[in-house]
Amino acid sequence: MSLTKTPIVDKNGHASHRWMKPADTDSSVARVAGISTSKPDGVISLAGMPVPELSFEKLYHVGELDMSKKKGWSLEGSGMSVSRNPLAWRKIAWLEGSIHEFDVADNRFLDWYELSSEQKDAINEWGIEKGYLESTTLYKVSYWDDELDDESFLICETLEEATEEAEMREVEPEPFEGYVATDLFPDRKYIGTATNYDQVIAAVWVNEEAPELDGVWWADKLDTSRDSAPRGVLAGNKIAEWISSSQVADESTIDEDEDEYEDYDYEDDE
């Protein structure tokens, strides 16, 4: 069983190549206050199954609303990031600027961690057909991270890089068949990279094949001590609509008690 894991970012928002796993979840129940599992009439199918969805009462974005000014690498690529935890993300990624509040009725987000392995495979196959992805041999270096007190791994695109990383950790690199973004990949921030592409290709799929959805949601664990928090990204065709509904949030009213999330479970990607 492979685990989908969340990249830890440094103060500039760049992935630090340390990964932490979400815990188990049960998608059949509503989550914490303000989040509900969505079962709309217009069911969207993928790999012969309805895609899992979430809906939110209120979401936030920290900083600039003009995505053309977005700099550097991002977990969500070129899209507009949204979250229920703007104060947590401001701390994790050293973000600056105002916090913008969105209240879009009946929003629908693809629940990425609840996609079945067949559905994720279908998105990858769609990416291959579109020319956005190409298959290649990648290398996984698994090791125990003392700082996180958890199993972590690196994904390397060359055997040379994997061997160097593995020797430092006294482990062996594990080759596997994966994908890398091609020059045709719509999100230019991910051209030629395998790191985290599988989450961004889902956002591309939503934008092109499921315009009824507002974006993609990753139910990462809320734990600022480990640089982790739930997050989402808006589909490109929805950004203008969401910006038109935005207002600058009153930060004194934002409550992010991490204890609230003690019963918020998470799922391994099988």
Q: pLDDT tens for residues 78-89?
A: 788 999 999 998
Q: Is residue 265 part of a domain?
A: no
Token match 């934002």: residue? 254
- Bigger pLDDT: 205 or 14? 205
pLDDT above 50 (res 160): yes
Task: Please tell me the total count of domains within the chain.
Answer: 1
Mean pLDDT: which of 3-17, 37-51, 119-133, 134-148 is highest? 119-133
Q: Is residue 182 part of a domain?
A: yes
- Across the range 146-161, mean pLDDT stands at 84
Q: pLDDT tens for residues 216-270?
A: 999 988 888 888 889 999 998 999 999 999 998 888 888 776 544 433 333 333 3
Q: Is residue 157 part of a domain?
A: yes
Q: Is residue 102 part of a domain?
A: yes
Q: Is residue 270 part of a domain?
A: no
Domain that holds residue 27: 6-251
- Across the range 135-156, mean pLDDT stands at 85
Among 12-16, 144-148, 174-178, 184-188, the range scoring the smallest mean pLDDT is 12-16
- Bigger pLDDT: 31 or 60? 60
The predicted pLDDT at position 251 comes to: 82
Q: Is residue 201 part of a domain?
A: yes
Q: Is residue 258 part of a domain?
A: no
CA distances from 234 to 81, 130, 140, 200, 262 (A): 7, 21, 30, 11, 27
Q: Is residue 262 part of a domain?
A: no
